[in-house]
Amino acid sequence: MLKVGDKAPDFTGVNQNEETVKLADYKGSNLILYFYPKDDTPGCTKESCSLRDFHGELLEKGYKILGVSADTAAKHQKFIDKYNLPFDLIADTEKEIIKAYDCWGLKKFMGKEYEGIIRTTYIISKEGKISHIFKKVKTASHAEQILEEVEN
């Protein structure tokens, strides 16, 4: 299990444009790396739109945003276009990054258990270390949740 203070696991993936994206691309910036189950579902849409709505404020405070799910690059592009998301989404169809960040595991929904992506957000410092971990994400107000936590 990853914890605050750990070096963030390195990763390489592809974004919605099928361009390579690496953790190293964000060196020198604070990164909000959020893992979510599926594009265009109610909770994931609320979470992504919350981050979109506070994108300018987060940028001003030195944060960049990167989302990760197991959806394809094409699905990510449709999601970005539909909701005008101003940040990249990684298509981790093989779940390599998702597993490296401990975001794959047993979930329960309506009494059934299944394996899936566990909604989690990591804040990675300019130095590449994990500074915050959000396991209990408030989807509709996630940006405010992050700002409240990082400013305290």
Q: Give 106-138 pLDDT, tens digit per residue.
A: 988 788 899 999 999 999 999 999 999 999 999
Let me know if residue 1 belongs to a domain: no
Let me know if residue 4 belongs to a domain: no
Let me know if residue 58 belongs to a domain: yes
Q: Which domain holds residue 101?
A: 12-150
Check: CB of residue 64 under 8 Å from CB of residue 31.
Answer: yes
Catalytic annotation present for 49: no
How does pLDDT run across 2-61, given as a tens digit for each residue?
A: 999 999 999 999 999 999 999 999 999 999 999 999 999 999 999 999 999 999 999 999
pLDDT confidence tier of residue 70, bands split at 50, 70 and 90: very high
Let me know if residue 131 belongs to a domain: yes
Residue 143 CA to residue 137 CA, distance in Å, equals: 10
Q: Provide the number of structural domains found in the chain.
A: 1
Let me know if residue 64 belongs to a domain: yes
Residue 88 CA to residue 84 CA, distance in Å, equals: 11
Let me know if residue 116 belongs to a domain: yes
Let me know if residue 61 belongs to a domain: yes
Confidence at residue 98, expressed as pLDDT on a 0 to 100 scale? 98
- DSSP 8-class letter at 138: -
Q: How many CB atoms lie within 10 A of CB 113?
A: 9
Confidence at residue 132, expressed as pLDDT on a 0 to 100 scale? 97
Let me know if residue 3 belongs to a domain: no
Check pLDDT > 80 for residue 152. Answer: no
Confidence at residue 58, expressed as pLDDT on a 0 to 100 scale? 95
The CATH number given to whatever domain includes residue 97 is: 3.40.30.10
CA distances from 18 to 14, 64, 70, 84 (A): 5, 19, 14, 18
Q: Which of 44, 70, 91, 143 is catalytic?
A: 44
Q: Could you tell me the pTM of the whole model? A: 0.96
